Structures are given as C-alpha cells and as structure tokens.
Amino acid sequence: ETGVTQTPRHLVMGMTNKKSLKCEQHLGHNAMYWYKQSAKKPLELMFVYNFKEQTENNSVPSRFSPECPNSSHLFLHLHTLQPEDSALYLCASSQDDIPGQPQHFGDGTRLSIL
Amino acid sequence: DQQVKQNSPSLSVQEGRISILNCDYTNSMFDYFLWYKKYPAEGPTFLISISSIKDKNEDGRFTVFLNKSAKHLSLHIVPSQPGDSAVYFCAARTYTPLVFGKGTRLSVIA
C-alpha cells in the first residue's frame, strides 16, 4: 500500500469515447503528477500539479486534460485518443515538487485504445 | 536524447551474491538521484536516494554510490534475495522534472 490509489486499473476504450482516470493520495502531499509509460520507453512526465496549480505540461496533446480539484485528487480526462496512447498511466505524489523528496506512485491504469 | 541511461536491460544474479545495477547520466546539473523498484502490475516503489553532495548512501541491504566526475551511479544489493527480482529504475533531477532511465530487469536465482 503506497498511499496513492488509481482507478480503474484497466481501461479499454474506443477512439471516440470519453473517459477519466482517477488518482487519490492519502499522504498529505502537496504535489501530484501524471506519467505515461509506453512499452520499452522510460517513464514520461505528462503533468505536474503543486498546491492544485498546474506547474508543468510536458507538451502533452490536448486530448489529455488534467484536473486537480484539491491536493488529494487528480484526474486525467481522455477524449478522442489514438492507438499510440495505449500505455500504462501512473500517478505519483510527493510532499512538494522539489529535489530531495521522493515521489510515491500508484499502481497505474493500463489503457488500451481500440 | 536520453539524459538518464541504464545500458543493461537485464541482469541475473545468484541468491546471496551481490547485485550491481548501473546508471549513467548526461546532465551535470542533476543533483538528486533515486532508485525505484517495480514489480509486475504494480507502480514503482521508492527504494533509496542520494544527493549530489554525497558519494554514498546506505539503507540495509541497499547502497547507492555516486561518481559525479564520471556521471555514474550504481545500486548495490547485498545479499541478493529472490524477492529482489524486479525492474529497477534510476531517476535524476534538479529543479526540473524527474527523468527516468528505461530500467534494468534483475532476476535473482535461488
């Protein structure tokens, strides 16, 4: 139990669907992150939120839309995705977004686009 | 261009022996380095970290060594146990987002 919970664990969707990934952390952290892990690639940072404000958008296509209503919850809204978006999406949190503070990850959502 | 490289995709070690996982980086501004372990169907779990002001950090069976002049760090696991079999990711940052390597799959053979 890492203190970071992601739902759903698996998601299959068509390219025209709209769905959302949810992340909740119970660690009292101020920073939350979305990462993408594709096969044979390193984890790629997508978004960073610090105190509910987005501080990093790593050139992510607009078909991915993050939402952070409070410091404990982070969503990733998905619409009109492409087959290449199939990947493992990982949420993480840390006390603050600064060096010296490790990020704690959830178990991820395995997303498959048909 | 990858800033953090783990050049060995896999490593096999006998139980009880030492496992050494290596990581090279190119950005001399990195000042904080971490190792994560990942089991199948789980997220990465933080293992150990080191700041650039140190050259060694130890936590139980796990020791991380940092060689700043060579831009190289390594994770030593001794003694290795079957439960250590996992994918190990090296990561680094400064006041920029964390950058990960591709990982090394460690298999500890009983």
Give percent helix, percent strand, percent coil of chain B, each to the nearest 5. Answer: 5, 55, 45
List the beta bridge partners of residue B62: B59, B77
Give the pLDDT confidence score for residue B19 in this predicted structure. Answer: 98
Q: How far apart are CA B92 and CA A4, in angstroms?
A: 21
> Looking at beta carbons, which residues of chain A come within 8 Å of B94?
99
Mutate to test the interface with A, among B46, B94, B102 (most CBs of A within 10 A): B46
Do residues A113 and A86 touch, judged by C-beta distance below 8 A? yes
Over residues A41-61, the pLDDT tens digits come to 899 999 999 988 888 888 899
Between A and B, how many CB-CB pairs are < 8 A?
A: 51
Q: What SS3 class is residue B56?
A: strand
Do residues A5 and A54 touch, judged by C-beta distance below 8 A? no
> Looking at beta carbons, which residues of chain B come within 8 Å of A89?
none
Phi and psi at residue A27, to the nearest 5° = -105, 0
Compare all CA atoms of chain B with the CA of A55 and give the residue at the minimum distance. Answer: B97
Whether B1 shows a pLDDT value over 80: the answer reads: no
Residue B96 vs residue A102, higher pLDDT = A102
Residues in B lying within 8 Å of A, measured between beta carbons: 2, 4, 31-32, 34, 36, 41-46, 49, 51, 89, 93-95, 97-103
Average predicted confidence (pLDDT) for chain A: 93
